[in-house]
Amino acid sequence: MPYLFTSESVSEGHPDKVADQISDALIDHFLAFDKESKVACETLVTTGQVVLAGEVKSNTYLDVQKIARDTINKIGYTKSEYMFDGNSCGVFSAIHEQSPDINQGVDRATKEEQGAGDQGMMFGYATRETENYMPLALDLSHKILIELAALRRESKDITYLRPDSKSQVTIEYSDDNVPQRIDSIVISTQHDDFDTEEAMLEKIRKDIVEILIPRVIAKLPENLQALFNENIKYHINPTGKFVIGGPHGDTGLTGRKIIVDTYGGKGAHGGGAFSGKDPSKVDRSAAYATRHIAKNLVAAGVADEVLVQVSYAIGVVEPMGIFIDTYGTCPFNMTDGEIAQKVSEIFDMRPAAIEERLKLRNPMYSETAAYGHMGRPSETVSKTFSQPNGEDLTVDVELFTWEKLDHVDKVKAAFGL
């Protein structure tokens, strides 16, 4: 019998994502000036206020207030009427030095002996149902909000949009797990005040259905375009008025959107957040590494759908184990346990090896903090960072290295494909 599956996304202006972006902007600045920085930084945002807290071990000094304000302004909170804007909000920092008890388990005599920054399990996932090997419902949810943000910044067709928004897509699947159609789309977007609520709802619904959705569809491959039809149920700002939003509407905290950040409820999640953590924290680095493994396995033809789990003990170099689930989609006679054994031979999962393979000591994290850490195109960009003493540093940074299909040939050779 056909079934429905739903995933959601939130925009860069969502309060939790504002917090994530501030935390990752701090990570990038620390790594830009000291690649060996150890950072765990949490951010809280609320009406007119930002609170920074966490632990840092670094040889650089940063103006964390300026970094937070610049991030908020870039997102689009630039007006006092939002009750939260980058130029006037308070920024309180309670960042202090990292515990030596934790650090002694991570830093070792040689980089290769670096222990895991924490215990825990991390998951990576990939599926053939989209070109970027991501679950379709989540991928569409992200794309809707990316396009909505583009419309907000263009200020040509839609001029009333504010930064906070959410989306949700429900897909109908066949018994053999193939997407058949889009059942419903939910979009809630913050907006300027209207004269009447009726005029507001009519205008927003018309612009979403007639301007936003066609722009999203136009950028999709033909097989996904065919999933859109006139029978889709749209719920546009279903609660009605959404003028009060962002950190004034809800308090935001780093690390509260871990399912949005990963696979939208498909696969599994170990529970650890990413933003605000340097790559010695395996919550982040091993989650990227397992996505890299899963994507390359699917692309190589090992299976149509793959879940990868890795687990660690704090301060221990080698992982506790690697688990593979192909959901019965492996086309040849090999068990998931046998696949896991070969994966452990192809991919070195020691923390230092992951950092080196995926170039994770570079300032590459601000771009991950909104619209998902997975499924994004790997590209090289130029980024400039500033210190309080006036020193500027411009570096070329390769983003989303875990999305590269650079191990497909190795996987095919190991599996005889």
pTM (two decimals) = 0.95
Binding residues for Mg(2+): 16
CA nearest neighbour of 120 among 277, 265, 340: 277
Condensed to tens digits (0 to 9), the pLDDT of residues 243-255 reads 899 999 999 999 9
- pLDDT for residue 391: 85
Residue 167 to residue 237: CA distance in whole angstroms: 10
- 179 strand-pairing partners: 173
Binding residues for L-methionine: 55, 98, 250, 281
Residues sharing a CB contact under 8 Å with residue 230, sequence separation 6 or more, in sequence order: none
Binding residues: 14, 16, 42, 55, 98, 164-166, 241-242, 250, 256-257, 273, 277, 281
- pLDDT for residue 109: 55
- pLDDT for residue 335: 96
- Mean per-residue pLDDT of the chain: 94
Per-residue pLDDT, averaged over 91-117, amounts to 71
End-to-end CA distance of the chain: 34
Residue 159 to residue 162: CA distance in whole angstroms: 9
- pLDDT for residue 117: 74
Binding residues for K(+): 42
- pLDDT for residue 63: 94
Please give the domain boundaries of the chain with CATH numbers for all domains. 3-9+136-245 (3.30.300.10), 120-128+282-415 (3.30.300.10)
- pLDDT for residue 112: 65
- Residue 158: is its pLDDT beyond 90? no
Per-residue pLDDT, averaged over 357-373, amounts to 98
Condensed to tens digits (0 to 9), the pLDDT of residues 281-315 reads 999 999 999 999 999 999 999 999 999 999 999 88
Q: Which two tokens stand for residue 251?
A: 């308090």
Residue 226 to residue 373: CA distance in whole angstroms: 27
The percentage of the chain sitting over the pLDDT mark of 70, rounded to a whole number, equals: 96
- Residue 106: is its pLDDT beyond 80? no
- Residue 257: is its pLDDT beyond 80? yes
Q: How confident is the model at residue 6 (pLDDT cuts 50, 70, 90)?
A: very high
Binding residues for ATP: 14, 164-166, 241-242, 250, 256-257, 273, 277
Cα three-residue angle 40-400-317, rounded to 5 degrees = 55
- Residue 105: is its pLDDT beyond 70? no
